Amino acid sequence: MRFGTIGLPRTVARGSPNPRRRTAETVCDNRTSPTKRAEVSDLIPFRGLRYPASDLSACTAPPYDVIDDDERRVLEERDPHNAVRLILPRDDDGCDRYEAAARLLRDWCARGVLRRDSQPALYGYRILFHDDTSPRVTTGVIGGLPVAAPGEAVLPHERTLARARNDRLALLRATRANLDPIWVLSLASGLTELVDAGETPVATARDGDALHELWPITDAARIATIRGAITGASMVLADGHHRYETAAAYARDRDDPAAALIMALVVELTGTQLCVRAIHRLLSGEPARSLRERLSSRFTLTELGPNVPELAATVEARMDDAGALGIVDRDGIGLLHPRLEAIAPLLRDEPDAVHGVDAACFDAAIRPLIGDAVIDYRNDAATVAALVEKGAADAAVLLRPVSVDQIRSAALAGVRMPEKSTFFAPKPRTGMVFRTLDESGDDRSGGPAAN
């Protein structure tokens, strides 16, 4: 049995990208036909619903599943029309939170807080940011993506949670709107250049050191060319598995062409476009307080030192160099080296495509040992260490990020990684554009240009 790379050091050539921020460079030169290809898809122009202002920094929000309670309150206080009130609504005046979101959306439209574009468009989307010290740009295009059973048109790479699916389905039913775009990776060569023709953005949003820009693409010839490139290439679902499955389930229940699409940001799978971070596991409860003892039969521990910010800032690089997972608890920070003879049998029934994924190692080798410990998720090791230090969690297991190559391989093999395996960053802002099902103005005419 091939065990993969868990427990083996990963060497990185001098001058190569930061190993803790995986890029797509290992796969962008390999454009051969996949062994399992998704059915042909498309991207449909629609009449977007947008804030009329050009600077949307105060009105936009991160995706719903990365917002904690503190950030939620900050966003709500930042602007009375912040999009967080739609994607994470609160119960209001006797109606449940989903109906409250629907009522708020109708009110904002009636009062002109949101206005519908006059003609269907695809929407160019650009994120300018820094990865450590290097400037980076991610460019993609937003449109209506046809939904189908997972794997038929867009290849998933990650499992989903029933509770999250039910939550998003209730919101979709109430609002009949796509409030935030899912993120899809396309193997369409040259898509970035087709989308980015130097237009001036009509809307921008600042999020820390990242600048988000959006512009409509209405020229029929350009739209047809972009659609032609997308139609001829496979797609991998990067972010938004719960929303995609929710939209597919919603569409199956009704004869509604507008419901058969979901708003999606499509980004070319190429070397400079993507950064993938790890998602770490925060643990609380009695089992977490004895984590080291529980893991000793399956991992060898290397102590690194006390839980201080200086060490927390470097632990991810040390994990990558050592081919190890990490541990943070009240005794400090350390490395967890898998005992191959103990863990390999636990992964025997798992597909080869996930053997090198730390989330699979966690599920197979650690989760069964921690009983009823409560698990929470964060994508930043320094934040995780600080939460353990102040007692907000009893311990944490730190994971290494997957590579884009691993994501692509898993999707093309029809294999799903464990939930919470990947964190793409920076994420598109919610509120740059919305798509409602009742007045979407989807333009299916013309079709893609012939290749």
* β-bridge pairing 182-186 and 261-268: parallel
pLDDT at residue 40, rounded to an integer: 54
pLDDT at residue 95, rounded to an integer: 82
Tokens of 97: 């939170």
- CA separation for the pair 262, 169 (Å, rounded): 13
pLDDT at residue 41, rounded to an integer: 76
Residue 6 domain-assigned (yes or no): no
Q: Are residues 227 and 303 in the same domain?
A: no
3-state secondary structure of 448: coil
Q: Are residues 215 and 283 in the same domain?
A: no
> Within 18-155, where are the H helices?
69-78, 84-87, 97-110
3-state secondary structure of 283: strand
Contact by Cβ (8 Å): 268, 408 = no
pLDDT at residue 419, rounded to an integer: 80
Q: Are residues 286 and 371 in the same domain?
A: yes
Q: Are residues 333 and 445 in the same domain?
A: no
Q: Are residues 385 and 450 in the same domain?
A: no
Give, in order, the Cα–Cα distances in Å from 69 to each of 65, 66, 76, 163, 395: 11, 10, 11, 18, 21
- CA separation for the pair 432, 179 (Å, rounded): 10
Give, in order, the Cα–Cα distances in Å from 167 to each of 75, 97, 263, 434: 20, 11, 18, 19
Contact by Cβ (8 Å): 170, 95 = no
Q: Are residues 184 and 245 in the same domain?
A: yes
Residue 434 domain-assigned (yes or no): yes
- CA separation for the pair 155, 386 (Å, rounded): 36
pLDDT at residue 417, rounded to an integer: 80
Backbone angles phi, psi at 69, to 5 degrees: -60, -40
Q: Are residues 366 and 246 in the same domain?
A: no
Residue 10 domain-assigned (yes or no): no
Contact by Cβ (8 Å): 48, 123 = yes
Residue 379 domain-assigned (yes or no): yes
Backbone angles phi, psi at 374, to 5 degrees: -85, 130
Residue 224 domain-assigned (yes or no): yes
Tokens of 94: 């006797």
CA 403 from chain centre, in angstroms, equals 14
- CA separation for the pair 312, 320 (Å, rounded): 14
How many domains does the chain fold into?
Answer: 2
Q: Are residues 210 and 296 in the same domain?
A: no
pLDDT at residue 221, rounded to an integer: 96
Q: Are residues 136 and 175 in the same domain?
A: yes
Q: What amino acid is encoded at 19 in this protein?
A: P
Q: Are residues 357 and 377 in the same domain?
A: yes
pLDDT in tens, the chain (451 residues): 333 344 333 333 323 334 344 433 332 222 233 334 444 579 999 999 999 999 999 999 999 988 989 999 999 999 999 999 999 999 876 789 999 999 999 999 999 999 999 999 999 999 999 876 688 899 999 999 999 755 556 766 555 667 778 899 999 999 999 999 999 988 888 899 999 988 899 999 999 999 999 999 999 999 999 999 998 787 888 888 889 989 998 998 888 999 999 999 999 877 677 788 899 999 999 999 999 999 999 999 999 999 999 999 999 999 999 999 999 999 999 999 999 999 999 998 888 888 889 999 999 999 999 999 999 999 899 999 999 999 999 999 999 998 878 877 776 777 778 888 888 888 999 999 999 999 766 677 666 654 4
**Residue tagged 């290992």 (tokens):** 26
Q: Are residues 202 and 291 in the same domain?
A: no
- CA separation for the pair 131, 40 (Å, rounded): 33
Residue 303 domain-assigned (yes or no): yes
Element at 187 (helix H, strand E): none
Residue 349 domain-assigned (yes or no): yes
Residue 419 domain-assigned (yes or no): no
Question: Could you tell me the residue range of the domain that residue 318 belongs to?
Answer: 279-400
Closest to 159 (Cα-Cα) out of 168, 167, 150, 146: 150
Q: Are residues 252 and 331 in the same domain?
A: no
